[in-house]
């Protein structure tokens, strides 16, 4: 979200007049954003699909017991030079939301839900561990909000 993220993704719904995209790209540049256009209709914008793959593999790694949320996030942050890793980001969004979105991809693409949606449901959602928004936390324990005095 601006000002930290100035990316805008544009995509057709399959019925958009092609002349719309050069116009919108020019307008986006005029206001200081960085536009990217998906070349055809897709389930999710380009970055959303890349992020879905990262989330899917992260949850699979956890389901298989290969690594921990802390180790995954530390590795991701070290290599990408980002402040938050995928587990912490999923906790921020909400594991219920992550599972809902992943379930859509599972159904659309014929993927197995075993190490993603089913794992999240069994190990987190069924136990009330929805992420940052729940008192029980998610991948990480809930962090209470600090109120300034």
Q: Which two tokens stand for residue 49?
A: 């699909």
* CA nearest to 70, candidates 18, 140, 135, 144: 140
pTM above 0.85, yes or no: no
Q: For 73-116, what is each residue's pLDDT tens digit?
A: 999 999 999 889 999 999 999 999 999 999 999 999 999 999 99
Q: Which two tokens stand for residue 148?
A: 């300034």
Mean local confidence (pLDDT), 22-34: 96
Quick check: 91 and 138 in contact, CB under 8 A? yes
12 and 68 together in one domain: no
Mean local confidence (pLDDT), 36-58: 93
Mean local confidence (pLDDT), 51-68: 97
Report how far residue 106's alpha carbon sits from residue 116's, in angstroms, rounded to the nearest whole number: 9
What value does the mean pLDDT of the chain take? 93
What total of structural domains would you count in the chain?
A: 2
25 and 80 together in one domain: no
Q: What is the pLDDT of residue 1?
A: 58
19 and 50 together in one domain: no
Q: What is the pLDDT of residue 82?
A: 85
Q: What is the pLDDT of residue 63?
A: 98
Axis crossing angle, helix 86-93 with helix 69-80, rounded to the nearest 10: 110
**Is 132 a member of any domain?**
no
**Is 117 a member of any domain?**
yes
Is residue 143 scored above 80 in pLDDT? no
52 and 123 together in one domain: yes
**Is 98 a member of any domain?**
yes
52 and 117 together in one domain: yes
**Is 139 a member of any domain?**
no
Quick check: 55 and 94 in contact, CB under 8 A? no
Q: What is the pLDDT of residue 72?
A: 98
Domain that holds residue 23: 7-37
111 and 71 together in one domain: yes
Is residue 145 scored above 80 in pLDDT? no
């Amino acid at each position: 979200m601006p000002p930290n993220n100035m990316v805008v993704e544009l995509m057709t719904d399959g019925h958009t007049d092609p002349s719309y995209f050069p116009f919108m790209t020019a307008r986006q540049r005029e206001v200081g954003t960085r536009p990217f256009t998906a070349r055809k209709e897709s389930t999710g914008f380009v970055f959303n699909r890349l992020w879905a793959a990262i989330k899917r593999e992260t949850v699979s790694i956890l389901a298989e017991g290969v690594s921990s949320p802390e180790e995954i996030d530390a590795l991701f942050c070290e290599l990408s030079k980002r402040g938050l890793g995928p587990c912490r980001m999923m906790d921020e969004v909400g594991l219920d939301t992550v599972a809902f979105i992943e379930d859509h991809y599972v159904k659309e693409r014929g993927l197995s839900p075993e190490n993603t949606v089913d794992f999240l449901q069994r190990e987190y959602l069924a136990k009330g561990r929805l992420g940052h928004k729940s008192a029980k936390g998610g991948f990480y324990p809930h962090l209470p909000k600090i109120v300034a005095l």
